[in-house]
Structures are given as C-alpha cells and as structure tokens.
Amino acid sequence: MSDYYELLGVSQNATLEEIKKAYRKKARKLHPDIAGEGHEEEFKKVSRAYETLSDPDKRQMYDLGGEDALNGASGFGGGFGAPDLGTFFQSMFGGGASRGPASRARRGQDSLVAVDVSLEDVAFGAHRSIEVDTYVTCASCNGSCCSPGTEPVTCSSCNGSGSVQRMARSFLGNVMTSTACSTCQGFGTVIASPCKECSAQGRTHVRDTIEVDIPAGVADGTRIRMSGRGEAGPAGGPHADLYIEIHEERHPFLERHGDDLLTELRIPMTAAALGATYPLDTLDGTQDVSIKPGTQSGDEVILDGLGVGHLRRHGRGDLHVSIVVETPRHIDSQQRELLQQLAALRGEDGVAPAKDESVLGKLKDKLSGH
C-alpha cells in the first residue's frame, strides 16, 4: 500500500500549498510527455496521491484509515483506477482532448406573449388569434445556411475536427492543448456560399399568427405552454416553446373570487320590506333575482352555476348577489306623511314606549327586580 505523503515527498503536517508545490515538481519529472515511456504508473500514483491530499475531506479519511477508508472515492472518475488524463489536463489547462466539431444547429429561444382576456373569456373559454414576432426555418435553404444546391465545406485549417492543437508551456513543461478552430469557429465546416435569404442563419424573421385556445377557469397570470410553437433555432435547430400569459381585464360590475363571481343589487327599502323581483345583468344575460320580504342590507342571494367555468372539469362556480338596501335621501311632503303614519303604526315614531324595551331598559328592570 502506497504512502501518499511519501510519494509526494511531504510530511503529514504539510500545508495545501506545500502539497501543490511538491506535486508540480514530481509531475514535471514524471509526465510521459517529458520523462518518456515507462513512467506512466508512477505518474498515476503521484496524481492519485495529490488528488486525495489536496481534498480536506479525503485527506482526513486517508489519515484515519488509509486507502481502504476512502471506499474508492476519487475525483478522476474511475475510483483508484487509471486517472482520466484528458479530464485532468482539461481542468489544468482549459484545453483537453478534442470532442469533435460543434453543431451549428441550436434550439431556438422560448417566447412569452401577454394576452388580454375578458371575464367572459375566462368564464366560458375562448379561441384567440394572436400575432407574434418570431423566427421560422428559412424556406430557401431549409436551415442549411447555404445557397440552394450547395453545402458546407470541410474546414482546411482543422480538417473537419473543429479544433486545433498547439504546444503550450506550463509548470509541466511543453504540453499539447486543444482549442476551437478560429477559421470555422469549431464547427468543422465553413459556409462557402451563404444563403442570401437568411444571411447564413438558417432561419428568417417573420410576423406570424398563432391560434390559441383559452380554457375556461384559467387564472390571471397563468402561462399556457405551446410546445414547439416558439422560434426556430439557427441552422435548422428545433423550435422552442411559446408561452401565453393570461392578463384578465377588470369587469365593470362583476368581481371574481376563484370560480365564483360577486356583484351588488341595490333595492329601495320598500322592496326590502315587501319583497320584489328585480332583473340583474349577468354573464348569461339578464336574470331575475327574487327579494324576500324583510330582506336586510348585506343579505346575499346565490345564483347557482352562473360563475366561472371550472378549469379542466365540468360545471361552473356561483354568482353571489349582495343586497344593498337604500334609504331615500329626498322625500316630498306626502311621502313623509305616509312614512310618519307607518312609523306610528309600528311604534317607531320617536315617542318613547310605555315600557323601556331598550337593552339599557331591560338591564335596569333586571337590576331593580322587575
């Protein structure tokens, strides 16, 4: 079993900076590109020791129980097997092995469009046609970015690999790095004859009409996702998604609470006392509201099923009608006389009753023993 501290030539109390310095010195001597063949295994062991001791958690586990205590934990992706040198050099130098040419085709960006809808639209559902600014796949080149009859040409600088390798100096000496080809931008091909219709983008800007179904019961601020109806991606890339954001307009006399609706009905005091039937404007047209005799201000009449449709299920909410009893502000002499007669008949003419029926009077009677 290897002693990681001994492999790096440091003490068990070494700081992280001392461990890094020791590893760089060892790696510079043992790297296969510098030391030649025959040092691969030794280089792997040194790299494994550095990977463990440079991580505080792994170092603590190693100090407590050696390699067995680590249970195969390793940042090189393969336990304590061979390190992935490509990944290692990519993390050290920002290059790494070439992964092949990149694709020009990319997914388009999602789009968001706000749609103003009325209370009637969200109560019953609606179908709307909306115009959006978007991108569509170029009809001339069909997304290839090339003039009709032509195609991309293999890049002569990278021979189609999309990357070029260069020698760079580092603490390990001269090492080979891989970077995206500047000629083809990493695509591996160049557009020798660009499409004039889309300027080699593979898509064109248009103003399109989208058909949208507004479901009944949808809430204000809801976003409806239309998969694949967003803009087309560059170079024939897939379409993105289109999101429709619902903005519900305020109704002049109906207020929405979930799937229920609230409104007011103002009636004179005579109708509240005697009872009556009044017409009321609703989303379903004019409906008759029956006022029971003795109705008080604040009483509520519920009209079943005249609210907003439930989202994704049958039925609708209710319409709640709040009754407001209005007292006349201006009356003529005849009306005043009639009201005075009514007040006298009901004992409400302002003359104190023979026995105090007020709450205070009842309390006085109780205290006095009457």
pLDDT digits (tens, 9 = 90+) for 220-273: 999 999 999 999 999 999 999 999 999 999 999 999 999 999 999 999 999 999
Residue 55, pLDDT > 50, answer: yes
At residue 23, the pLDDT reads 86
**pLDDT band, very low/low/confident/very high, at 351 (cuts 50, 70, 90):** low
* pLDDT surpassing 70 at residue 68: no
Where does the pLDDT of residue 171 fall: very low under 50, low under 70, confident under 90, or very high at 90 and above? low
Amino acid at 141: C
Q: Check whether 48 has a pLDDT greater than 60.
A: yes
Percent of the chain's residues with pLDDT above 90: 58
* Secondary structure of the chain in HEC code, one letter for each residue: CCCHHHHHCCCCCCCHHHHHHHHHHHHHHHCHHHHCCCCHHHHHHHHHHHHHHCCHHHHHHHHHHHHHHCCCCCCCCCCCCCCCHHHHHHHHHCCCCCCCCCCCCCCCCCEEEEEEECHHHHHHCEEEEEEEEEEEECCCCCCCCECCCCCCEECCCCCCCCEEEEEEEECCEEEEEEEECCCCCCCCEECCCECCCCCCCCEEEEEEEEEEEECCCCCCCCEEEECCCCCCCHHHCCCCCEEEEEEECCCCCCEEECCEEEEEEEEEHHHHHHCEEEEEEECCEEEEEEECCCCCCCCEEEECCCCCECCCCCCECCEEEEEEEECCCCCCHHHHHHHHHHHHHCCCCCCCCCCCCCHHHHHHHHHHCC
Which of 7-11, 175-179, 286-290, 354-358 bottoms out in mean pLDDT, i.e. has the lowest? 354-358
- Per mean pLDDT, which range of 18-27, 73-82, 226-235 is the poorest? 73-82
- Read off the pTM: 0.61
Residue 311 in this model has a pLDDT that exceeds 70: yes
Better-scored residue on pLDDT, 314 or 35: 314
Q: Report the pLDDT averaged over residues 209-217.
A: 94
Q: Are residues 203 and 143 in contact, defined by beta-carbon separation less than 8 angstroms?
A: yes
Domains along the sequence of the chain with CATH: 4-83 (1.10.287.110), 111-248 (2.10.230.10), 255-326 (2.60.260.20), 333-368 (no CATH)
Handedness of CA 235, 241, 243, 244 (dihedral sign): positive
How buried is residue 198: exposed, middle or buried, by Cβ count under 10 Å (0-12/13-18/19+)? buried
What pLDDT, on the 0 to 100 scale, is given for residue 95?
43
The residue ranking higher by pLDDT, 267 or 176, is: 267
At 94 the pLDDT is 43
> Given a cut of 70, is residue 198 above it in pLDDT?
yes
Structure tokens given for 197: 């219709």
Model confidence at 304, pLDDT cuts 50, 70, 90, reads: very high
**pLDDT at residue 166 in the model:** 77
pLDDT band at 51 (very low <50, low <70, confident <90, very high): confident
The crossing angle, in degrees rounded to 10, of helices 16-30 and 40-53 is 170
Residue 37 has pLDDT above 50, yes or no: yes
Of residues 56, 111, 47, the one with CA closest to residue 80? 47
Distance CA 114, CA 133 (A): 13
Q: What integer pLDDT is reported at residue 188 of this predicted model?
A: 93
- Look at residue 179 and tell me whether its pLDDT is greater than 90: no
Stronger pLDDT, 176 or 281, i.e. the higher one: 281
Whole-angstrom distance, CA of residue 300 vs CA of residue 98:
75
* Confidence check: pLDDT of 90 > 60: no
**How do strand 153-154 and strand 189-190 relate by DSSP bridges?**
antiparallel
For position 72, what pLDDT does the model report?
Answer: 45
* Rounded Cα gap, residues 363 and 358, in angstroms: 9
Q: Name 355's Cβ contacts closer than 8 Å, sequence gap at least 6.
A: 361
| Lowest-pLDDT choice from 166-170, 187-191, 283-287 | 166-170
Asked if 236 and 105 touch (Cβ cutoff 8 Å), the reply is: yes
Q: At 105, give phi and psi (nearest 5°).
A: -70, 125
C-alpha to C-alpha distance for 65 and 75, rounded to whole angstroms: 19
Within 13 Å of residue 191, how many CA atoms lie on the same side as its CB? 19
Return the percentage of the chain with pLDDT > 70, whole number.
80
Q: Say which residue, 23 or 1, is predicted with more confidence.
A: 23
